Amino acid sequence: MNATFDFSGRSILVTGASSGIGRATVEALCASGASVVAAARNVNELARLAEQTGCEPLTLDVGDPAAIDAALAELPVFDGLVNCAGIALLERAVDTTADSFDRVLAVNTRGAVLVARHVARAMLAAKRAGSIVNVSSQAALVALDDHLSYSASKAALDAVTRALCIELGPHGIRVNSVNPTVTLTPMAVLAWSDPVKRDPALAAIPLRRFAEPAEVAAPIMFLLSDAASMISGVCLPIDGGYTAR
């Protein structure tokens, strides 16, 4: 997908950057002139991404509060943040354990909160306006089998988006979420390869297909850009019409 925005002179932090939506977002931002810090746990993939795009790699586990504090303490003030780091532990509701629930919330919700806190504090201190985009999910908007912990984490992330919107808006900082459907990362391609699982899901999407990572990265780019200068507090489905039903 061609870059359509000019982010020259802007610095953006992207978590979950080593694969999928996060990787596609880093690629699009770098192609649009942004200075990008790409954060993730996978050191090797970050190195490959840095070589390909020129981004600055940052090894970071957002599920570890101490690691967040240490990694972000020395970073410069950013103009934008994309909270894309996330995990999914899919299990039946009656099989959900305290450990699995806490692990998912720790990364998908608490991690995003703590990263946003660091970035927003620096932006406020520098009196810098900007944009934060949280990568949520259609699972925050509708009920899905085996998604209790994941859905709860993403619904909470949407609530975080609204809270940050209210508190940071007076300082010129916009905060939004994107809520994609199944997105065809390499892992998702394997996970949805079984027609028994795949075909009913596709039938529920009016466009009859899943999303590509670049199709999620493009709306993220829009929300980061000045083209979305009056948009804040929005949870934007990127789902081919799934949640319209």
pLDDT per position as a tens digit, 172-196 = 999 999 999 999 987 788 778 889 9
pLDDT value, residue 245: 83
pLDDT value, residue 204: 95
Residues 159, 142: contact at Cβ < 8 Å?
no
Q: Which two structure tokens, joined as six digits, stand for 30? A: 């770098």
Q: Using the CB atoms, write b or e for 41-74: b if 16+ within 10 Å.
A: beeebbeebbeebebebbebbbbbeebbeebbee
More confidently predicted of 78 and 139: 78
Return the bridge partners of 147, or none.
91
- Give the DSSP letter of residue 106: I
- Give the DSSP letter of residue 81: E
Q: What angle do CA 41, 211, 21 make, to 5 degrees?
A: 20
Choose which CATH entry (3.40.50.720, 3.40.50.1100, 3.20.20.70, 3.40.50.620) describes domain 11-183+212-237: 3.40.50.720
**Is 89 a residue whose pLDDT tops 80?**
no
Share of the chain above pLDDT 70, in %: 99
| Residues marked as catalytic | 150
pLDDT per position as a tens digit, 233-245 = 999 999 999 999 8
Note the residue count of the chain.
245
Q: What are the phi and psi torsion angles at 113 (to 5°)?
A: -60, -45
pLDDT per position as a tens digit, 97-152 = 999 999 999 999 999 999 999 999 999 999 999 999 999 999 899 988 878 999 99
- For range 16-22, the mean pLDDT: 96
pLDDT per position as a tens digit, 201-242 = 999 999 999 999 999 999 999 999 999 999 999 999 999 999
Side chain identity, residue 138: Q
pLDDT per position as a tens digit, 24-61 = 999 999 999 999 999 999 999 999 999 999 999 999 99
